[in-house]
Structure 1
Amino acid sequence: MSITLMVQGTTSDAGKSALVTGLCRALARRGVRVAPFKPQNMALNSAVTADGGEIGRSQAVQALACGLTPHTDMNPVLLKPNSDIGAQVIIHGHAVGNMDACSYHHYKSEARRAVLESHERLRSKYDVVLVEGAGSPAEINLRENDIANMGFAEAVDCPVILVADIDRGGVFAHLVGTLALLSESERRRTLGFVINRFRGDLSLLQPGLEWLETETGRSVYGVLPYLHGLHLEAEDALATACSSEKAALKVIVPALPRLSNHTDFDPLRLHPQVDIRFIAAGETIPPADLVILPGSKNVRADLCWLREQGWESMLLRHLRYGGRVLGICGGYQMLGKDISDPEGLEGIAGETPGFGLLEVETVLQPRKQLHNVTGVLTLNSAPVSGYEIHAGITTGRGLSRPAVQFDRRKEGAVSPDDQVLGTYLHGVFESSVACDGLLRWAGLFDPAPFDYYTLREAGIERLADAVDQHLNMETLLPLAAGNPKSGSSDKLVDSRSKPKT
C-alpha cells in the first residue's frame, strides 16, 4: 500500500522544503521507493524536467534526493509571479496563461484536477509520496478551494505533520495557533510536529516539548538542529550573498523585482575566490570585475527598473574601464538592441529598447522554450550543461559570435571585444570547468578547484543525516524500517513518539 504523508509549515520558510528533502534521501537510502510532490508552488526558481516541462526548483532537488529524474507530476501547478497582482500559471509543466488572483480562483477546479491526477500517478509508482505544502494552512483568506495545504490533504485523505522554525521565535505560539485555526477534520489528520533550526541545549527545551504534547495531544517527532553553512537550493527567497574583502574576483548582480532562477549564482556564492553581492533598489552600485544581469519574469519592466536605478550609465562606465558583463536569459535579452512583447505575455504589449551592448533583438512568443542541454563554451571549449526556460526568440548579427555550441545549434552571443556575453543557458556555473572558464574570462587568473555538484550532494546527505539522527523515523514512517509493503496509512495515523535527542 502506498503512503502519502504531507509536511506543512506554520509559516513560509519554516523548513518544509528542507524536511521533505531530508526525508526523501533518508528513505531512499533505506531502499524505499519514494517521490516528492508539491501540489501548488509559487516560485520564480524553476527547473526543466525530462518530460519537457517546468517545475519548482525545490521539487527538482527533492527528486535528486530520491535518486529520481525530475518529472512534471512532482509539481503539477506552478505559479510564477510577473507583477504584484498576477502570475503565469503553469499546469503539468506548461504555461496556460497569465491570471490575477480572482481569475485563478475561478480556475482552481481545473488546477485541482491536475493536482489529483499527478498525485494518483505517483501513488501508483512509489511506496511513499512525500508532499510539501505551501506557506501556512492557517491563512484563512485562502482556505476556500485550497489545493496547496489542507484542501489537498482532505481531498486525498492523507496525514499531516507541521514544521515550525524555532530560530525566528514564537515556535509554540506558531504551532498551537496554527492547530487552533484548523477545522476539526484538519486537526484530526495532523499527527504532530517537527521543530526546526534549534540551537543550544535540548534539555532546556524539553519542558516546552512536554507541555506542547500535553496541550495538543499530539507528538513532537523530533527537533532538528540549526545546520550552519548548509547549502540547499532556495525555493524562491533570494539567498544571502557571500561577501569577502579578500576575494580575488568581485561580482555584482542587480536584485531585480522579478528576478528568476537566482540559483544560477549558487556556485559563485560558495566559491572561495568570489565576492558576489546582490544590489537592491536604492543601494549604491559598487565597482566590480563582473556584472551579471540575471533572469527575469518580466524583462521589460525590470529593464526599466534598471534604468531608473542608474545601471545603464554604470554598465557603460564599467565597460570603459575594461570590466566584463554577462547576461543570463532575461539579462541576455536586456543586453540586445530591443525587446518586443507583441502579445503582452509578460505585461502590457509593446517594445522596449535594450542596452544595445549586443547586436541582437528579441521577440517574446507564446510557446516557451524548455530544454535540458549540453555543449561547450566558445570562450575556451569547456564542457557546459544546463537548461533553457524562455519565451524569447533572439535574432541578429551578434549570433555570428555565439557563446555556446550545442550538438546541433549555436546559442548566445559574445561582443567583438569579448567584454560582453549573453546566453539563455541557466546553470552555466555549475560545471567546474565551465565555471573556471567564465571566471578566467572575468579576470580570475588562477581559479581554485571547486566542485559544485559534490557540494550540493553533501548538503542533501547532511540533511538526511540530521533527519536520521534527530527524528523518530521508525514511528513517523513505518516504511523506514525497511519493509515498504508492511506499512499502511492507519499505522501513520495512530503513531505517537517522544522527540529524539
Structure 2
Amino acid sequence: SGEYDIIISEGAGSAAEINMQDRDFANSYVSSMYGTPAILISDIERGGVFASLYGTVKLMPDSNLVKYLVINRMRGDSEMLSPGILKLEELTGKKVIGVIPYSGISLPGEDSLNYNKPAIQNHRICIIKYPHMEVYSDFDPFYLLNIGFTFVDKDNIDALDRCDVIILPGSKLVGEDLHYMEKYGIASKLIALQATKTIIGICGGYQMLGKRVIDNDNVESAEKEIKCLEILDIETEFKNKKITGAVNYTLNDKIFPGGIHGEGYEIHYGSIMRNRELPMAYIDGKPEGSVHGNIYGTNIHGIFENRALLNRLLNIECGDYRKTLIKNIDATSKLFTGN
C-alpha cells in the first residue's frame, strides 16, 4: 500500500445481499474492515436506477460507509435525471457525484453475465459452453481485439462442423461437464472432428481432452475415475490442495519458434500425472501442457493474451491485447473524470 496513492477495492454484484450477509466478502467487507469510504454505482441500462440505489443503501450493512453515489451508462441527456437525483440525495443523505454516459469502450467483463452473448459473432471460432464453464476472462482478448467467437451448447452443435477452431474452457466440475457433452453428442462430435479442427483445452478443458481423471478423494465428483475424450495421451489426478499462482512461461520453441514468453496464472485441483505428448510450454524449465498435431492443452489461464500464440493458433493477425486494454482503460478513466 505504500507504493500507491489510491487503492480501489472493487465489489461484485449487489452490495445488499441480505440473504448471505454472513459470507459476502466481495462488497462492503473490505470497507468495514478498514473504515474506507465506499462509492455505490448503479447501471441505469438495467432500469430502476433510483430504486436500486435507494434500496441498496437502506438494506446494506454499514451503509454509513457509503459516501457517494454514481449513475453509470446513461444514454441521452443526463439533465432529465436531475429531479430524481435531488430526491435520491434527500432520501439517502448521499451525494450523487456523477452520471457517466454510455460508452462502447470494451473492457474485461465483471462477471459471467457480461459474457452470455458475444459482442461479435465469429463462426470460425467456437467455445464449448458447458453448464459449469468458468474463467470467462480467458476470452477477454476475443472481445477487446474484435475477434469474436460463437458459444456452442446442446442447442447448436452443428456450429462445430463449420468452424476452424474449437476451445474447451475451464470447468468448475469436470466430470459433470463431460457427462453433459456425452449426453448431448458434443463429445462424439469433438472426437470425430479431432483430425480436421484445431482444438484447444484450457485447464478443465485440457483435462477433458485426456484419457481419464482420477479423483480418489472425491474432490470434484463421487466418481473415482472419469473417462475423458481420449484425444490427448494424458491422465489427470485431482488432489485436495488447489494449485494457484501467477506463472511465467516459455512456449515450446519446436512448436512455436521465436522464444515466445508470456505471463498467466494457474488455478486448478487437477494435476497431470502422466503426459506422453510434447509439452506446449515450460515453466521454470519444467514441461507444461500438451501438443499433438493440431490439438493443444494447457493449465495456464490468460494464455490468449499472448499475441504471437493467438496469431498462430487462430491463423490471424490480431492486435496487442495489453496495449488495447491500457488504451481502453485510459479512455474510460477520462470518461469518468469528465463526468
1:419 is matched with which residue? 294
Q: Considering only aligned residues, what root-mean-square deviation do their CA atoms show, in Å?
A: 2.5
Distance change (3 Å), C-alpha of 1:189 and 1:346: same
User: For the residues of structure 2 that align with 1:436 and 1:149, how far apart are their CA atoms?
Assistant: 38
1:326 is matched with which residue? 200
Q: For structure 1, which segment, 354-363 or 278-287, has the greater mean C-alpha deviation from structure 2 after superposition?
A: 278-287
Q: For structure 1, which segment, 195-204 or 366-375, has the greater mean C-alpha deviation from structure 2 after superposition?
A: 366-375
1:119 is matched with which residue? none
User: For the residues of structure 1 that align with 2:327 and 2:274, how far apart are their CA atoms?
Assistant: 43
Distance change (3 Å), C-alpha of 1:275 and 1:131: closer
1:266 to 140, 158, 166: 140
Partner letter of residue 347 of structure 1? S
Partner letter of residue 338 of structure 2? Q
Quick check: 1:192–1:218 contact (8 Å CA) kept in 2? Answer: yes
2:152 is matched with which residue? 279
Distance change (3 Å), C-alpha of 1:238 and 1:294: farther
The CA deviation at 1:448 is 2.5
User: For the residues of structure 2 that align with 1:306 and 1:208, how far apart are their CA atoms?
Assistant: 50
Q: How does 1:411-490 map to 2 (within 5 A)?
A: 411-415=288-292, 418-440=293-315, 447-470=316-339
State the SS of the aligned residue for 1:179: helix
1:494 is matched with which residue? none
1:256 to 104, 120, 130: 130
Partner letter of residue 455 of structure 1? T
The CA deviation at 1:357 is 0.7
The CA deviation at 1:164 is 0.9
Tell whether 2:167 aligns with 1:289: no
1:190 to 61, 66, 76: 66
Q: How does 1:393-404 map to 2 (within 5 A)?
A: 393-396=271-274, 398-399=276-277, 401-404=278-281
User: For the residues of structure 2 that align with 1:154 and 1:135, how far apart are their CA atoms?
Assistant: 17
Quick check: 1:145–1:151 contact (8 Å CA) kept in 2? Answer: no
Q: TM-score, normalised by structure 1?
A: 0.61
Quick check: 2:108–2:137 contact (8 Å CA) kept in 1? Answer: no
Distance change (3 Å), C-alpha of 1:433 and 1:182: closer
Residue identity over aligned pairs, in percent, reads 33
User: For the residues of structure 2 that align with 1:354 and 1:173, how far apart are their CA atoms?
Assistant: 49
1:353 is matched with which residue? 227
Distance change (3 Å), C-alpha of 1:411 and 1:225: same
Quick check: 1:242–1:270 contact (8 Å CA) kept in 2? Answer: no
Q: How does 1:105-120 map to 2 (within 5 A)?
A: none
The CA deviation at 1:434 is 1.5
Tell whether 2:213 aligns with 1:339: yes
User: For the residues of structure 1 that align with 2:297 and 2:60, how far apart are their CA atoms?
Assistant: 49
User: For the residues of structure 2 that align with 1:144 and 1:429, how far apart are their CA atoms?
Assistant: 37
State the SS of the aligned residue for 1:132: coil
State the SS of the aligned residue for 2:304: coil
Q: How does 1:378-417 map to 2 (within 5 A)?
A: 378-382=254-258, 383-385=260-262, 386-396=264-274, 398-399=276-277, 401-406=278-283, 408-415=285-292
State the SS of the aligned residue for 1:161: strand
User: For the residues of structure 2 that align with 1:238 and 1:155, how far apart are their CA atoms?
Assistant: 29
Tell whether 2:91 aligns with 1:215: yes
2:101 to 218, 225, 238: 225
1:241 is matched with which residue? 118
Per-residue CA shift, 1:3-26, capped at 9, x if unaligned?
xxxxxxxxxxxxxxxxxxxxxxxx
Partner letter of residue 432 of structure 1? R
Consecutive aligned runs of 4 or more in structure 1 exceeding 6 Å deviation: none
Quick check: 2:125–2:164 contact (8 Å CA) kept in 1? Answer: yes
Distance change (3 Å), C-alpha of 1:180 and 1:266: closer
User: For the residues of structure 1 that align with 2:29 and 2:139, how far apart are their CA atoms?
Assistant: 35
Instruction: Give the number of aligned pairs.
Output: 332
Distance change (3 Å), C-alpha of 1:231 and 1:138: closer
State the SS of the aligned residue for 2:296: strand
Structure 2 residue ranges without an equivalent (≥5) = none
Q: TM-score, normalised by structure 2?
A: 0.88
The CA deviation at 1:232 is 2.4
Distance change (3 Å), C-alpha of 1:356 and 1:147: closer
Distance change (3 Å), C-alpha of 1:305 and 1:145: closer
User: For the residues of structure 1 that align with 2:24 and 2:304, how far apart are their CA atoms?
Assistant: 38
Distance change (3 Å), C-alpha of 1:142 and 1:224: same
The CA deviation at 1:452 is 0.8
State the SS of the aligned residue for 1:257: coil
2:240 is matched with which residue? 366
The CA deviation at 1:358 is 1.0
State the SS of the aligned residue for 2:8: strand
Per-residue CA shift, 1:196-249, capped at 9, x if unaligned?
1111112222222222223333211101111213222444445232434xx6x7
User: For the residues of structure 1 that align with 2:329 and 2:321, how far apart are their CA atoms?
Assistant: 13
Q: For structure 1, which segment, 427-436 or 226-235, has the greater mean C-alpha deviation from structure 2 after superposition?
A: 226-235
Higher RCO, Cα 8 Å, sep 6+: 1
User: For the residues of structure 2 that align with 1:421 and 1:148, how far apart are their CA atoms?
Assistant: 35
